[in-house]
Structure 1
């Protein structure tokens, strides 16, 4: 494993009276894609939200580039260079695509200050965003909204991107565009922590993997090793990746 950019050590999270995370431990290597897998309700989304400070760490620590995040508010965490694409996409439906992108670009005060070279790079993966640049985001299709959510996260270089189930409900052609975009980000040494239920996408993208069950990490290792071991998949996930070929 290369040097970790993110480390969770004994992380517990309570939401009201409910104890959701029970001592989560794993590290995210810099410049790689780490898959966070597990059955529904295992705690994957709560883990991402805890990293972002949307839920507070009740015990343990989250460290990013060696600095603890647990006492920081969500905007402060974002300013460390972490972007988050939630499962519900988090776009502003009443604003145009352009306005959504401008809000995500911290270095631009108006559209003329957006990095046009980077925009062209993003449009190469998601051409629909160019076509609907002046449309309200709420009028986009589900796939187009997901494109916008990812585009907002990568409109400026980030050190780490947390992404929650980006392929959910998308057509295979759009999923392939996402895979291409994420592979290009990986080539640029952007670190990605990705929750995903599409196991072929996980296999195509993942370098390392952490598998969760009942609020705990029950397995860590190379994604390739998990993808090649049907018995391990059955034990950890209750299914075989081979069935999704």
Structure 2
């Protein structure tokens, strides 16, 4: 499998804390890779390091063969975004004082005005997240938590991206919204969009994941097929401390 993203021996320090301890990870093109692990394993730090928000102190991060992270890389976070990587942080990162419309326009690199947005793609997004259409002209800060999460995901997919990094998108969402989110990501998967997804929702992980990487203590300790992990209760218990079947 061709890897669109590769991390080799990545270490990340945040202040005095050594968070990542030599992460090795390959994300195959056109597939959904689940990044799983207990709380504090280093999953969010891995995504933020890929995005250049935290600097890798050792090792390398390569996207489409080009170095974007590591001591010798000069790419900034805007450079990484322009290269085709979109990031949906756990905190959502929306602009609360701007309207839904303005948030979407900021995320669309090819559009300066609403008329320049890809209308077919926008309608496709509204099909999964109808609240965004309803509250198009509302300040984003007045949306509910679930609606803000919809907006965070919608901004990342307003234009086709080469790679999506998504951190815990279903956290705190109502089941109906989670189902819409799963359907949206499943459609992106059918279109062969490459996704690296951190997610604690077992149903979502099993439904969407092609590959899986499990982290513990700042390292990737297991890689393989998501279906194989889902079928091996003993491995789940050892790696994650839970049974996916029991949480389905």
Aligned-pair CA distance for 1:206: 0.2
Unaligned runs of 5+ in 2: none
Aligned-pair CA distance for 1:18: 0.8
1:122 aligns with 2:125: yes
Alpha-carbon distance in structure 2 between the residues aligned to 1:181 and 1:194: 13
Equivalent residue in structure 1 for 2:173, among 154, 167, 170: 170
Taking the TM superposition and a 5 Å limit, the aligned residue runs for 1:79-158 are 79-158=82-161
Alpha-carbon distance in structure 1 between the residues aligned to 2:185 and 2:192: 11
Aligned-pair CA distance for 1:112: 1.4
Which deviations, in whole Å up to 9, do the C-alpha atoms of 1:188-208 show, x marking residues without a partner?
Answer: 111000000111110110000
Alpha-carbon distance in structure 1 between the residues aligned to 2:192 and 2:240: 29
Corresponding residue for residue 37 of structure 1 = 36
1:206 aligns with 2:209: yes
1:159 aligns with 2:162: yes
Residue aligned with 1:25, SS: strand
Which deviations, in whole Å up to 9, do the C-alpha atoms of 1:65-93 show, x marking residues without a partner?
Answer: 00010121000000000000000001001
Alpha-carbon distance in structure 1 between the residues aligned to 2:192 and 2:230: 23
Normalised by the length of structure 1, the TM-score is 0.99
Equivalent residue in structure 1 for 2:238, among 225, 235, 238: 235
Residue aligned with 2:97, SS: coil
Alpha-carbon distance in structure 2 between the residues aligned to 1:111 and 1:201: 33
Aligned-pair CA distance for 1:148: 0.3
Alpha-carbon distance in structure 1 between the residues aligned to 2:181 and 2:231: 23
Alpha-carbon distance in structure 2 between the residues aligned to 1:173 and 1:244: 18
Residue aligned with 2:173, SS: coil
1:8 aligns with 2:11: no
Corresponding residue for residue 68 of structure 2 = 69
Alpha-carbon distance in structure 1 between the residues aligned to 2:140 and 2:25: 36
Corresponding residue for residue 60 of structure 1 = 59
Unaligned runs of 5+ in 1: none
Taking the TM superposition and a 5 Å limit, the aligned residue runs for 1:188-227 are 188-227=191-230
Alpha-carbon distance in structure 2 between the residues aligned to 1:69 and 1:18: 22
Aligned-pair CA distance for 1:244: 1.1
Alpha-carbon distance in structure 1 between the residues aligned to 2:234 and 2:40: 22
Aligned-pair CA distance for 1:224: 0.3
Normalised by the length of structure 2, the TM-score is 0.97
Alpha-carbon distance in structure 2 between the residues aligned to 1:91 and 1:165: 15
